[in-house]
Amino acid sequence: MSQTVTTVSVVARDRDVRRRVLETVLQETHPAVVVDSPPGAGKTHLVETVVATAAHHLRMHVGVIAPRVEQVHDLVRRLRQGHPFLPVQLLHARGRLPDPDILADPGVVSVDRPANLRRGPGVVVTTAAKLAFSVPDLQAGQFDLLVCDESYQLPWKDLAPVLHLAHRHLLVGDPGQLRPIVRGDLARYEAARHKMHWAAPRELLRQNPNLPRLQLPATWRLPQDTVELVQPSFYPDLSFASAVALADRQLGFGAAGIGDPVDAALDQLAAGATLVGLLLPARPLEVDEVDDEVAELAAHVVARLLERAATWVGVRQLTERDIGYVDAHVASNARVRARLRAAGVGPATMTTTPEIWQGSQRPMMVAKHTLSGLARLDGFALDPGRLCVMTSRHQLGVILVGRDGVAAALERHQHDTAERPSGTEDAQWAGWRAHHRLWTALDTMGRLIRI
């Protein structure tokens, strides 16, 4: 089957699932619907469509929540841009005014007291925390529909207190991304009757396994080459394919390389690979040691992309703003940022952690592998969501930088099953499998270039 025919089939299947989501949420009587989304599937666009249809065509009073303020502001902008006829109320904390462009929008009503919210057809957008704080001033059934975007970033403890505010609910999110941030030692809660620290959709489905669970089947961000590596590693229960044509996601260069390992990695990307590793010799690092050599390598890769006039073929030549760097550690990010400035690369090249990168994308990404230089693997390094985010932000390609020895570290890792309560989920083991599967695939395909 040709790639064009396959893409058409994926697009048609994606359209059918989105129609099914609308029908299930708005025409059927289920109390809640969960929609799982791969990275770059356009889940926020789905949220917009459901909200606009419910509020404008069905005259519903719709609440929309997200975990973070920045996500809420983005939702407001997108709703206003795509559906300017839609009345939007933004419920926010008194001490934190909305961004100036939102305040200046005549179609957005800024509300800092829940008692001042207007009822009737329309949309109220806020954070889950603000809505929970507002519960004493709201009534059961306040909304006809409550929609939660980025729901896998929200712990159950933050959603449960507001469920009674709506007759029906829609939870949309990416099950492969980082788990919700909950402070404290969570081991004691793993065997509890209610998993208050679990992602909201997971706990909702655990308690109510018969609720409808739909899956978006397409990514509009990742090329198929990346999907074939990321999907089996991080999404074993979510089958999806790329909806973008191969011809639309090609990387080219205006200048030839000089044959060194960095150029060899870039040339692999130009030849059609979309995920390549670039490795320095193995060297175990001390605890909390920042790897200056890897930081230098990462900065060199970014600078070399610009020096060789990297181009999104048929679209444009890439600029600093089109390249991103992701690193699990703040100190390492700072070191790379300093080396980028020394190399003449400005702040437009976003350099930050996976937690901040969630929901964002760039044509090209450089990422430091989370296991680079580690002699002992812990839960933080093995977290599959962290590496999943790092390998799924790109539209054209990503280069993993780090030190060799990852395979050896994975092989000698001894996992202590006694670290968790009996019968609970083994997150470290799941992470080990994801890391091992991806690394083995890259090595087998000749995608690991050793310096």
Query: Per residue in 282-301, pLDDT tens?
Result: 988 887 789 999 999 999 99
In the CATH hierarchy, which fold is given to the domain comprising 224-450?
Answer: Rossmann fold (3.40.50)
Cβ neighbours for 117, distance < 8 A, ≥ 6 positions apart: 89, 91, 111, 124, 138
402 in helix, strand or coil?
A: strand
* Global confidence as pTM: 0.91
9 in helix, strand or coil?
A: helix
Ranges of each domain in the chain: 3-219, 224-450
Q: Which residues of 70-101 are buried (b: 16+ CB within 10 A; e: fewer)?
A: ebbbbbbbebbeebeebbbbbbbeeeeebeee
| Strands 310-312 and 323-326, sheet pairing | unpaired
C-alpha–C-alpha distance, residues 198 and 180, integer Å: 7
Q: pLDDT by residue (tens digit) across 192-218?
A: 677 788 899 999 999 999 999 999 999
C-alpha–C-alpha distance, residues 125 and 48, integer Å: 12
| 216 neighbors 14 (Cβ within 8 angstroms) | yes
Q: Are domains 3-219 and 224-450 of this chain identical in fold? A: yes
Q: pLDDT by residue (tens digit) across 231-275?
A: 999 999 999 999 999 899 999 999 998 989 999 999 999 999 999
Q: What mean pLDDT comes out for the span 435-445?
A: 96
**The pLDDT value given to residue 289:** 85
In the CATH hierarchy, which fold is given to the domain comprising 3-219?
Answer: Rossmann fold (3.40.50)
